[in-house]
Structure 1
Amino acid sequence: MRISSRLAAAAGGVVAAGTALAVGYLVAAVTGGPWPVDAVGVQVIDWAPGPVKDFAVRELGTADRPLLRVGICAVLAIVAAVAGVIGVTRPRTGRRQLVAVGIAAALGLVGLVFAIVSRSAATGVAERLLPAIVTLITAVAAMALVVRSPGGPKATQPDGFDRRRFMLTVSALAVVGTGAFATTRVASFGPGEAVRAKIRIPRPTEAARPLPSGVQVDVPGVSRFVTPNPKFYRVDTLLEVPRIDPADWELRIRGMVNKELRLSLPDLLDRRLIERDITLTCVSNEVGGPYVGNARWIGVPIADVLAEAGVRAGADAVKSTSIDGLTIGTPLSALTDGRDAIFAVAMNGEPLPFEHGFPVRMVVPGLYGYVSATKWIVDFEVTRFQDFSAYWTDRGWAVEAPIKTASRIDVPKGFATIKAGPAIAAGVAWAQHRGIAKVEVQVDDGPWRPAVLATEDTIDTWRQWRFRWTATPGTHKLTVRATDADGFVQTSRSTPPRPDGSSGLHNTVVMVD
């Protein structure tokens, strides 16, 4: 068989696999079930060693999801190409064709198995399995068409490869796949922005006070005091954001309680709502990293719900579960000690974005998100730490994780070039639920000098700062440290995020003309 025919056969195998994935993608969009590629991807994330996860979050951020999808699809394409060559290469026998179709079936079965075992936002059996089943059937049928099309009794080419017949078959499959993919991308399936926009958030019973004047330093380049929703960091383990229909959503309160509760979204919206400014931080945040943001949240106090359910003696934890099955363990004391822990329904004046947990998520001041900030929450079990382990603690992270005192230089950026003379540095500091009392800056190896603090909003929000210094020609290093309201001075000892948050001092190097 000539090289050109082998390449055509490989391309035919890839088109067969692509058609199956595109059709499965369409079915997943219609049913709300997991696309087989995403089912595999989520399991890969769950199986990945901790250092690999840490690297992905640190170096790739949210780009790790599309890259993982591309990687999975690339592997599938390679295997499908091999199957196409096997099925079309001379001598073309029924056995070789059966092997090619068998490879396609095996790939489809892998997707089906992962759809069964991996976490998914789909709760019904049909929703979970139908996209994978359709993908499997389409893969087998498409590969069978590809390997049966090259030759035949009327083939006139010297190598028996009927290119016209083959190209017609592959082109038809490509049209089907392209049409399925385009339909998925263009059409609107399941709950969308229109559904979210219809949710009317009542005026909170306790509104947040207006932001005090002076919470934002007047320095270009410093993070905005209130982080806009599109720029708020996102760290989770899902390749596809759950699109939950609020009409079908329910939160179950159970476990060591006197009365089990089942709350719909209207039930929550009819309760006492409070509005609070709260800064969230991800435990994966490196020193000086971007995974911190401040927003104005509206939600139901979790303590109110727990009081109604009645917590039994001996409970010390809550296991909350997302719609995809991810579990988070939170100290019960952090939900009942008076801090503004809430089931949040709104973020910065609008219903929660899908990416940030619509319709309901947890927000707990003072704790890293992996032990408190459950998005797309559906289950809330009062329990004891000794009776369960959560998703992240199973992977080497600490059981309890109060946020560490930290600070960051936003201006000047690293390796920026500035002019000699009066200069300014500025940034943010945070110690949620303790508050920031002081920020200091060190130039090179000089003494620590106090920065000017912006007005404090609350102890649950970050605090901005600015520092004036005289820049002399050469290269200089600026280092920042914060002191919280409990008197704890940010440590200079550098530690990685795992197991309970990074520590160390952020610095930046600048060049002065």
Structure 2
Amino acid sequence: MSETTTAAPATRATAPWWTGALSGLLAAVAGVALGSGVATLLGVPTPIESVGNRVIDLVPRPLKEFAIEQFGTNDKPVLIGSVAATLLVAAAVAGWLGLRRPRLALGITALLGLAALVTAALDRTSTANVVVTVIPSLVTLAVSLLLLVRLLKALELSRKVGDETPAGFDRRAFLQAVLIASAAMAIGGGVTRFLGSSAAKDSRADVMLPQPATPAPAVPAGAQADVKGISPYITPNRDFYRIDTALRVPQVPADTFNLRIHGMVEKELNLSFEDLLKERLVESRITLTCVSNEVGGPYVGNAAWLGVPVAELLARAGVKDGADAVKTTSADDMTIGTPLEALTDTERGALIAIGMNGEPLPLEHGFPVRMVVPGLYGYVSATKWLVDIEVTKFSDFKAYWTTRGYDAEAPIKLSSRIDVPKAFEALPRDNVRIGGVAWAQSVGIERVEVKIDDGDWQDVDLAAQDNVNTWRQWSWTWEDATEGTHQVTVRATDADGTTQTSDRVPIAPDGSTGWHNVRFRVE
């Protein structure tokens, strides 16, 4: 009786695993590169940006706050990098699986491409119609699939006639596919880099701002405290904080700009950028603050803004009885709700701004037109890339941030900050200079105090007051400083006699409160 031996199931021989992973990566990167190049030519978000924009809209508020707290103004590059990294990992895994199961690899790639296609179709930030907006994602999907098919086909192991031993994959065909992918990446990257200068950028370079009918008074002598390291009284445009949801700065050339004012008004207005230049222009120095600013945070800045008083435009349109809100919309479909009374109050001085610190608005700060409203946090007032003003009622709409748990009305809270010393900075015992800024928009700062450790409160020297809508700098010298580690705490009192609260509350739903303190060393 003879024994029979059952052979183990044969496994499919494949090319080295890394060739599959490389194939997935090359196909995905080439597809995204070409899709991004097409997006540049069409002036729409890239596939990666569309996915990132959808993430921004869907993630819960605590996660947004965490991202801003951890990454600050780098939150957008971090998000883009995270989306790209996730894509690369998924593409590499798909390519590796494709060595044995090509259909599975193509299915994964197709699903990734379809996800990008859907997010592009839903991308509120695009200024083009849906058909044009999805074209880059279609290009990305098609190129990625075609290249992956070609690369995986080249990696199939060939066999000699009558020989069970694989002869290896087609290196020439694989190299050709790699060269094609590399060419696609070069073309897409080159278009994005060299043709990516926007029409808005060129348009901004051509803008000549007229002299204001009402220029801002000269900055008072002594408005800048004489302390090394303190914030400049006027924040340079390049250093002004930027917090918004735009992964891709909306492209709005001045020559195609139109501002529509409508809703509960007697007469609808449509104003071009040239129309705004011919209006009565006012220059005002105004401090802006973001609701995302934690106690002692960096998201506050002071600038000279040039623009048209909002109250004058609303008066011309004729506001109807019953309205209590204004819904403003940006070119990327961001909506913001502002109390109507804040815009019709001529004393407050809200502006449709076209200039910042003597030049046209920077692209990232709203070119060609944005809104600036003293005394209100930016999420209820400071609409960038402004294209639409609708007079309405709060009961008739929900703005972007109010649907995410923030209050509909948000006056800026009385705050103060220590700029010098920095945390754990060492200061010489004979020169312990402390300084910072305080703000109480629409009211003004009357007094600032500091204390060292658990000592008594000490009045500081206040720099000259500019106007009630700007921050005020302060400074103090610790004459009898002692060596060691200490903590300095600051608090402010406004012109109405209200002293800043010590109660710590988070930024949501209407701004943080609490005293700022810094630990430092005296040597």
TM-score (norm 1): 0.96
Could you tell which deviates more after superposition, 188-197 or 35-44?
Answer: 188-197
What is the one-letter code of the residue matched to 2:394? F
Asked if 1:430 corresponds to 2:439, the answer is yes
Q: Which contiguous aligned blocks of 4+ residues in structure 1 show a shift greater than 6 angstroms?
A: 1-4, 154-157
Asked if 1:483 corresponds to 2:493, the answer is yes
Do the aligned partners of 1:84 and 1:146 also contact (CA within 8 Å) in 2? no
Secondary structure of 1:471's aligned partner: coil
CA distance in 1, matches of 2:236, 2:135: 37
CA distance in 2, matches of 1:97, 1:422: 71
Q: Percent identity?
A: 51
- Which runs of structure 2 are paired with 1:357-436 in the superposition (5 Å)? 357-436=366-445
Do the aligned partners of 2:45 and 2:126 also contact (CA within 8 Å) in 1? yes
Displacement of 1:151: 3.1
Displacement of 1:261: 1.0
What is the one-letter code of the residue matched to 1:179? I
Displacement of 1:322: 1.0
Residues 328-384 of structure 1: per-residue CA shift (max 9 Å, x gap)? 000000001121101100000110000000000000000000000000111111000
What is the one-letter code of the residue matched to 1:37? I
List runs of 5+ in structure 2 lacking aligned partners.
1-11
Residues 203-226 of structure 1: per-residue CA shift (max 9 Å, x gap)? 111010111110001111000000
Asked if 1:132 corresponds to 2:137, the answer is yes
- Residue 113 of structure 1, aligned match among 114, 118, 127: 118
What is the one-letter code of the residue matched to 1:116? A
CA distance in 2, matches of 1:446, 1:481: 14
Displacement of 1:52: 0.8
Find the counterpart in structure 2 of residue 88 from structure 1.
99
- Residue 212 of structure 1, aligned match among 199, 220, 226: 220
CA distance in 2, matches of 1:159, 1:392: 62
Seen in structure 2, the aligned counterparts of structure 1 residues 43 and 159 have a Cα distance that, compared at 3 Å, is: farther
Displacement of 1:66: 1.3
Displacement of 1:4: 6.5
Displacement of 1:193: 3.2
Do the aligned partners of 1:62 and 1:234 also contact (CA within 8 Å) in 2? yes
Do the aligned partners of 2:14 and 2:99 also contact (CA within 8 Å) in 1? no
Could you tell which deviates more after superposition, 11-20 or 183-192?
Answer: 183-192
Please identify the structure whose Cα radius of gyration is greater: 2
Displacement of 1:68: 1.2
Find the counterpart in structure 2 of residue 10 from structure 1.
21
What is the one-letter code of the residue matched to 2:508? R
Asked if 1:342 corresponds to 2:351, the answer is yes
Displacement of 1:314: 0.3
Displacement of 1:154: 7.8
List runs of 5+ in structure 1 lacking aligned partners.
90-95
Find the counterpart in structure 2 of residue 356 from structure 1.
365
Asked if 1:301 corresponds to 2:306, the answer is no
Asked if 1:250 corresponds to 2:258, the answer is yes
- Which runs of structure 2 are paired with 1:58-69 in the superposition (5 Å)? 58-69=69-80
- Which runs of structure 2 are paired with 1:185-264 in the superposition (5 Å)? 185-264=193-272
Displacement of 1:152: 7.0
What is the one-letter code of the residue matched to 2:124? R
Aligned length: 507
Asked if 1:326 corresponds to 2:334, the answer is yes
Find the counterpart in structure 2 of residue 92 from structure 1.
none
Could you tell which deviates more after superposition, 293-302 or 164-173?
Answer: 164-173
Secondary structure of 2:169's aligned partner: coil
Asked if 1:458 corresponds to 2:473, the answer is no
CA distance in 1, matches of 2:228, 2:439: 20
Could you tell which deviates more after superposition, 66-75 or 283-292?
Answer: 66-75
CA distance in 1, matches of 2:228, 2:13: 63
TM-score (norm 2): 0.94
- Residue 123 of structure 1, aligned match among 122, 128, 132: 128
Secondary structure of 2:91's aligned partner: helix
CA distance in 2, matches of 1:242, 1:357: 8
Displacement of 1:155: 7.9
CA distance in 2, matches of 1:335, 1:404: 19
Find the counterpart in structure 1 of residue 105 from structure 2.
100
Seen in structure 2, the aligned counterparts of structure 1 residues 170 and 337 have a Cα distance that, compared at 3 Å, is: same
